[in-house]
Structure 1
Amino acid sequence: MTAPLRPAFSEGQVLAAADLAATVEHARAAAARHARALHDWGIADGLGLRTESRTDPATGARFVEVSAAAGLAVDGTGREIVVPAPVVLSEAEFTEVNGADQPTAEPYPVFLIAVDRPQTGTGAVSCGSASAPTRVAESFQIRFGRLGDERLVEEQQPSPVGAPPAEPPVVWWVLLGYVRWTDGHFTAVASTARGVSVRYAGVRADTVAARSGTLSLRTRTAVQEGQPALVLSGEDPPSLVYGLYQGSGAISPLMTVAANGNLTIAGSFSGRISAGSVLVASGTATDGTLLPLPAGVAPQEVADGRVALHVYLTPRVPPSPTGLWSPIEATVDGERRVRCRIRSYDPIAAPGEVVDESGAVDYLVLATVAAAGGAQ
């Protein structure tokens, strides 16, 4: 493939139709290369499948009228596909493709493709020549697929780096979504089926720079209350904030990283224990109680030896008029279950009474992991 050719003109040159066409095609090819190299293809705006409830006058059955919203997509060849107004999906066209299928609850794919439609010119033409197209409408067509045709989307191969946008009969399938079909009518729409979802346009970049000094990432094109956002601010003081949008459009912080590295969180913190660190749990437990693990330690980490436990027990002094008591047992078994027995003696009783009973302990559980490179 040759390098891109840019038309050049000189004074007195006679311009042929091919010269003018080359001027247009150079710009189109440059735009297509930009779209392919710096963006991922897919839906850029709109084009969602929408439903309106309807009633079949003959049977009284409820169904939905499905339409594709106006919008813009960029296919994998870098060509823009513009749908200027909502389009109602044709039940007759669906029947032509899938009408012979047995009834099924499986959703059928709906595709958008680019189509060129030559427009007949109305200007002056040379003597003896027929009226020729002077415009090409860069139009579109919505097509229904058969069950499983959504795989065509994943199997499409990108164009060569220097290729212009696709021209007919080349077809690039853009998935708009799926429709369900029951008793001669559409009944529902979906955006995902059989592991293939609607694809949206993206950006390929190693650097994203904000001109205002603040860079925001959110999960929806519009600000919606309760949706998450990540904001990197270069203002004084700089910060990184993760939070949820409020109704006013402001962000309620859930996690903030300050310029000095301080981390502030609104909820609790949990995670895997890191090498060289120690986690602690303490409290009071009675005989037979299972001691808890420190927060962030999983039982499996203890079982497979990644985390070592150190348990310290101190028997609690029970209330006694005489104060004559002694611990018989204050231990913890392999399941972290406390065994505590207390023996008390009452010398006033006749004869002197010895009583063994369940006791309580104060516990301290330390969970440790050897530092990286430490002794094994």
Structure 2
Amino acid sequence: MTAPVRPTFLEGQVLAAADLAATVEHARGAAARHARHLHDWGIAEGLELVTDNRTDAATGARYVEVSVAAGLAVDGTGRELVVPSPVVLSEGDFASVNGADLPTTEPYPVFLAAADRVAPASGLVSCAGPAGPSRVTESYQLLFGRLGDELLVADQQPPPVGAPPADPPVRWLVLLGFVRWTDGHFTGVAASARRVSPRYAGVRADTVSARSGTLELRSNPVPREGAPAIVLSGEDPPNLVFGLYRATGSVSPLMTVAANGNLTIAGSFAGRISAGSVLAASGTATDGMLLPLPAGVTPEEVADGRVALHVYLTPRVPPPATATVLVTPVESTVDSERRVRCRIRTYDPVVDPGAVTDRPGAADFLVLATVGGDR
């Protein structure tokens, strides 16, 4: 593969068609290499599969008319594929490819590929003979694949580094989505099938900078209320914010990292706890109460032995009602389900020497969770 050649011109030079064609091809090749190596190929804008409900006049069956929305894609050779207006998918074309299949609910892939269309000859007849075509429309074609053909997309290989965009008959498939087919009509569309989805154009860069001083990363082209966003701000004060969009388009912070390293979060903090850590929970429990686990510890981790529990109970002895009443704890335990059993006994040898009363009590608890090495 030779390096790109740039044509130059001299005063008085007689320009041949090849000279002018080389000028166009040089610019076209440069644009394709830029798109191929500084971007990831895929859908750049639009090209969704859109449905409109229809009724078969002969059978009364309901079906959908499927259209490809206007849009732009860049294939893996760096060539632009422009669909300037919506296009209705042909049921006849689909039937010619897949019409012999047995009935199935599996969706079929729809592809977009480049297609050159040479315009009819025009212009004056020269001494060298009749004029040839002077225009090529860089058009497109919509193709239906067989079940499983969407896997072919991942097997496509880009051309060499210095190559211009590929022209037909070389074909690069851009997956647009999937259609369902029943009894001679389209019945629906799907965005993905068999764990394959359309691919969207991206950017290859080691540095991304913002001229305004604020860089915003979001999951949709247009801010949507409740959608996540990451905002890096170099303004005063500089910070990094993760949050959700409000209806106004601003970002409600959920987590903020300030320039001095301070971290502020709106919710609770949870994460993996390192081996050897000791977590604690404390409070007061009454008889029959289930003791809580320390924050960050799950019942499953306790059940399978990844976390060991150590429980300490200190019964609360209420003050006696009178000077002759004796009060003592008779039970202060916790079972395997972490349920507290606490009983308090009272006895008055003066007023009622024959009666002993047991009643539910309360205990202060401390639960220590020790984390093993395989958590």
Q: TM-score normalized by structure 2?
A: 0.91
Counterparts of 1:57-136 in structure 2 under 5 Å? 57-136=57-136
CA contact (8 A) 1:272 1:297 kept: no
Paired position in structure 1 for 2:199: 199
Quote how far apart the aligned CAs of 1:119 are: 1.4
CA contact (8 A) 2:317 2:344 kept: no
Amino acid at match of 2:75: D
Match of 1:325 among 320, 324, 327: 327
Paired position in structure 1 for 2:187: 187
Quote how far apart the aligned CAs of 1:232 are: 1.1
CA contact (8 A) 2:44 2:72 kept: yes
Quote how far apart the aligned CAs of 1:308 are: 5.1
Paired position in structure 1 for 2:364: 362
Counterparts of 1:245-324 in structure 2 under 5 Å? 245-274=245-274, 279-302=279-302, 307=307, 309-318=309-318, 320-322=320-322, 324=326
| Structure 2 residue ranges without an equivalent (≥5) | none
Classify 1:201/1:8 alpha carbon distance in 2 versus 1 (closer, same or farther; 3 Å).
same
Paired position in structure 2 for 1:32: 32
CA contact (8 A) 2:124 2:130 kept: no
Quote how far apart the aligned CAs of 1:335 are: 4.7
Distance in 1 between the 2:13 and 2:199 partners?
47
Amino acid at match of 1:263: L
Paired position in structure 1 for 2:342: 340
Local SS of the residue matching 1:23: helix
Quote how far apart the aligned CAs of 1:289 are: 3.5
CA contact (8 A) 1:42 1:174 kept: yes
Distance in 1 between the 2:311 and 2:141 partners?
71
| Structure 1 residue ranges without an equivalent (≥5) | 372-376
- Does residue 233 (structure 1) correspond to residue 233 (structure 2)? The answer is yes
Quote how far apart the aligned CAs of 1:357 are: 4.4
- Does residue 172 (structure 1) correspond to residue 172 (structure 2)? The answer is yes
CA contact (8 A) 1:216 1:230 kept: yes
Q: Cα deviation per residue 1:293-337 (whole Å; 9 max; x = unaligned)?
A: 112123344456655544332212246424522223434455534
75-84 vs 268-277, greater mean Cα deviation: 268-277
Local SS of the residue matching 1:242: strand
Local SS of the residue matching 1:241: strand
CA contact (8 A) 2:317 2:329 kept: no
Distance in 2 between the 1:311 and 1:325 partners?
24
Q: Cα deviation per residue 1:333-372 (whole Å; 9 max; x = unaligned)?
A: 555343434333222344343344443211122345599x
Amino-acid identity (%):
75
Q: Cα deviation per residue 1:167-217 (whole Å; 9 max; x = unaligned)?
A: 111110001111111121111111101111011111111211111010111
Counterparts of 1:6-25 in structure 2 under 5 Å? 6-25=6-25
Distance in 2 between the 1:300 and 1:57 partners?
60
Q: Superposition RMSD on alpha carbons, in Å?
A: 2.3
Q: TM-score normalized by structure 1?
A: 0.90
CA contact (8 A) 2:347 2:353 kept: no
Quote how far apart the aligned CAs of 1:19 are: 2.1
CA contact (8 A) 1:120 1:131 kept: no
Distance in 2 between the 1:167 and 1:186 partners?
31
